[in-house]
Amino acid sequence: MENLTLNISKTLGFVDQSAINTLLTKANESNAKLHHKTGKGNDFLGWINLPSSITTEEIADIEKTAAYLKSVSEVVVVIGIGGSYLGSKAVLEALSHSFSTLLPNQKNPHIVFAGQNIGEDYHYELLEMLKDKNYSIIVISKSGTTTEPAIAFRLLKKNLEEKIGKVAAQKRIVAITDASRGALKQLATQEGYKTYIITDDVGGRYSVLTPVGLLPIAVAGFDIKALLKGAVDMEKLTGEETPADKNPASVYAAVRNALYAKGKTTEILVNYNPKLHYIAEWWKQLYGESEGKEHKGIYPASVDFTSDLHSMGQYIQDGQRNIFETVISIAKPNHSLNVPEDKDNHDKLNFLAHKAIDEVNKMAEIGTMLAHVDGGVPNIKITLPKLNEYYLGQLMYFFEKACGISGYILDVNPFDQPGVEAYKNNMFALMGKPGFEEATKKILERID
């Protein structure tokens, strides 16, 4: 079985190999800190050996619950925010048929998401869509009090109980939450919901390979064993015993930090397959929330090429030179389709006739990379042999491991998110939450 590969050759005109080697030494030390739990945030490292530590019994239980939800549901609503939905959303978008909602006779439920925003129209329209559907709920929250998912769960729990009755609804709700604390855990115990645990040592953005991600992915009909196998193999490939220069996670972390030291403060994750759009959204949360601290960190952005070459391409080619790109390339598509010949050739494209669509896409990929490098934008390339569960498992563990290493190179705690609390506290004060009375007075004085 092939592995994900990393190519840094298009960065070497921008950073010296000696600078990368120095950072590879730091990457090696950082990887050791992750494995020995001696670095910052070491109480949130349960994800390190997660792929290899999940048992066959745990997988079987997740698959059993998924089978039940599939048997009673046309739609399954996954309630969560941040890491509680982005990982599963990313995998589902990458693996699903692009037009699955329009295909007849779907054997698996449609997965939709709630609690990732506070949009009133969004939630109204969600309830409107569910009116004539058999549906179930997967609610994900350690505390059960995070505003966005808590509001969504209130709405959907009430709606489902009114629709099918409280007893029946209890069988259609699965809670993924804390082992012993929190409002959702208390409610799940009281109501008798099927429950899965988010362990204290796994943060939300590192949770895709726990039931948080695995259950929705299994409900959608995808192979979670293959996903985990890919992650297990990447866990081995990026282990402590692997020399830093042979460890793709260490090399990626070292090179991106070498570029950062040269003033490349924005990293753009690029794909040439629209199915990878939400992989980029998941990646942005992982790196933005992990590294953006103490006024430090590479800003994570993303584009979908070739679409965005007709919008953002100009800026990337000729704008500020504080950017670098990391390209995710899929070596072989899952389907084949050739450009047809046209005898009139009005569009002047007969030179492409009989070529595979993917060949044209690959030429766009190579041509764009060379143009951007010539324009002062270094490029890192990550290649997946195919787009399937196994290689997505490799990719996601690779990014998680590299993120931990990179955060330690940057000398921040990659596993907390203190800045996220600022907006929450202001919102609570504005909404008049009990205990925030003094803050409410102060914040009202600041509003024009």
Give me the mean pLDDT over the 357-384 stretch.
97
Select from 77, 78, 81, 76 the least CA-distant residue to 148. 81
* Confidence at residue 404, expressed as pLDDT on a 0 to 100 scale: 98
Model pLDDT for residues 83-95, shown as the tens digit of each residue: 889 999 999 999 9
Give me the mean pLDDT over the 115-131 stretch.
96
Model pLDDT for residues 162-197, shown as the tens digit of each residue: 999 999 999 999 999 998 899 999 999 999 999 999
Report the distance separating Cα 10 and Cα 380, nearest Å. 6
* Confidence at residue 194, expressed as pLDDT on a 0 to 100 scale: 97
Greatest Cα pair distance in the chain = 76
Q: Average per-residue pLDDT in the chain?
A: 95
Select from 213, 149, 207 the least CA-distant residue to 183. 149
Model pLDDT for residues 391-400, shown as the tens digit of each residue: 999 999 999 9
Model pLDDT for residues 45-73, shown as the tens digit of each residue: 999 999 999 999 999 999 999 999 999 99
| Residue 432 vs residue 381, higher pLDDT | 381
When mean pLDDT is compared across 99-113, 400-414, 424-438, the lowest value belongs to: 424-438
Give me the mean pLDDT over the 196-225 stretch.
95
**Side chain identity at residue 422, one-letter code:** A
Q: Domain spans of the chain? A: 5-41+228-410, 50-226
Which residues are annotated as catalytic? 289, 310, 424
5-41+228-410 with 50-226: one CATH topology? yes
Cis-peptide, bond into residue 210, ω within 30° of zero: no
- Joined tokens for residue 290: 């992990």
* Confidence at residue 429, expressed as pLDDT on a 0 to 100 scale: 75
Report the distance separating Cα 246 and Cα 230, nearest Å. 18
Q: Which CATH number fits domain 50-226: 3.40.50.1220, 3.40.50.10490, 3.40.50.2000, 3.20.20.10?
A: 3.40.50.10490
Q: Is the pLDDT of residue 439 over 90?
A: no
* Confidence at residue 433, expressed as pLDDT on a 0 to 100 scale: 81
Report the distance separating Cα 252 and Cα 242, nearest Å. 14
Q: Is the pLDDT of residue 436 over 90?
A: no
383 backbone dihedrals φ, ψ, rounded to 5°: -115, 130
Strand-strand pairing, 5-7 and 379-384: antiparallel
Give me the mean pLDDT over the 411-433 stretch.
81
Burial of 263 (0-12, 13-18, 19+ CB in 10 A): exposed
Report the distance separating Cα 23 and Cα 273, nearest Å. 31
* Confidence at residue 448, expressed as pLDDT on a 0 to 100 scale: 64
Provide the terminal-to-terminal Cα distance of the chain, rounded to the nearest Å. Answer: 61
Model pLDDT for residues 327-365, shown as the tens digit of each residue: 999 999 999 999 999 999 999 999 999 999 999 999 999
| Segments of 210-279 assigned E as strands | 266-271
Sign of CA dihedral 42, 291, 325, 261: negative
Burial of 238 (0-12, 13-18, 19+ CB in 10 A): buried
Indicate the pLDDT class of residue 205, thresholds 50, 70 and 90. very high
Model pLDDT for residues 8-38, shown as the tens digit of each residue: 999 999 999 999 999 999 999 999 999 999 9
| Residue 302 vs residue 430, higher pLDDT | 302
**Three-state SS sequence of 33-82:** HHHHCCCCCHHHCCCCCHHHHCCHHHHHHHHHHHHHHHHHCCEEEEECCC
284 backbone dihedrals φ, ψ, rounded to 5°: -60, -40
pTM: 0.94
* CATH C-level class of 5-41+228-410: alpha beta
